[in-house]
Amino acid sequence: MKVAVVGATGMVGGVMLQLLEERNFPLEELIPVASERSVGKSLSFKGKEIRIYSMQEAIKARPDLALFSAGGSASLEFAPRFAEVGTTVIDNSSAWRMQPDKKLIVPEINGHLLTESDRIIANPNCSTIQLVMALKPLNDRYKVKRVVVSTYQSITGTGAKAQEQMENERLGEKGEMVYPYPIDKNCLPHCDVFLDNGYTKEEMKLTNETKKILGDDTVNVTATAVRVPVVGGHSESVNIEFEKEFNISDIRKLLAETPGITVQDQPEVNQYPMPLYAEGKDEVFIGRIRRDLSQVNTLNMWIVSDNLRKGAATNTIQIAELLIRKNLLGSEVLS
């Protein structure tokens, strides 16, 4: 098996490489791909130095899989070219997510939808993944009517330059400003660009992607996305209104039994999810589970996950592992 990692020198690409090694992914040849300035250099994988390829070289190599984390424009241009030579692409950008003919996959939720004909598969937005992991079992049992979510998103979701900005600010040094304001000791209610409706793209991703992944257009989501000076992961305060009555102990049990979720909900001993302790882990952590006292059939909870892992790289690798288990990696060249 030949696997290309497109955007291998970026933050998510680096975690993808780490996970391929950690999870002993069954590849025989790694093809790391990066921008032209990195081509010809090398990176370390499983104790070996591997040369970095150009996009054209990688396409000619006809890998079985291409794991993309290189931004939307690169995905729109090159993902179809990989697909044309028989490669299955799993893309981490927003380029394909809402395309009607492309699957938007969280393996634990809708991995069963994948077929051999799916040559470009979309990986959801990081904040959406952890939200739908919690919503899926609850929607199946109690039927979700409305979700109000406020996010507290790590600067790592913006990339390495955002982390550099925060570190420069903490050192009192001047440097490149990725955000329009300082991020250290601050919160920016501004993730991605603002749209004409007053929401940001990130907020609308939570609304639209949730419906598509759950396969349920009746689940209404309204979001406020906030960037915070945190590295370890994204946090979300979530208020969920159900059609049916529920019992809190049943909610905890249902979530605890859901693969990929870890419930941390013992406030009497100060146990609750935090990004400081979610960093480097693949689970979605849920706590502060309590009834909304202001409205019937409504629940509050707190959700935390490492946005570079389950929110991006881990979910991508899990999709690839599922394709292998289901023998869905065809090798024919598409016309």
Q: Would you please indicate which residues are annotated as catalytic (active-site) residues?
A: 126, 234
- Parallel, antiparallel, or unpaired: how do β-strands 298-305 and 261-263 relate? unpaired
Of 30, 32, 52, give the one whose Cα is nearest residue 42: 52
**Cβ-based neighbour number of residue 333 at 10 Å:** 11
Q: Please state, in angstroms and rounded to a whole number, the distance separating the CA atoms of residues 78 and 53.
A: 14
Residue 52, SS3 per DSSP: coil
Question: CA–CA separation, 248 vs 303, rounded Å?
Answer: 16
Tokens (6 digits) for 136: 């899926």
Please state the separation of Cα 212 from the chain's center in Å: 15
Which of 281, 147, 160 is CA-nearest to residue 223? 147
Give the DSSP letter string of 221-281: EEEEEEE-S-SS-EEEEEEEEESS---HHHHHHHHHTSTTEEE--BGGGTB---HHHHTT-
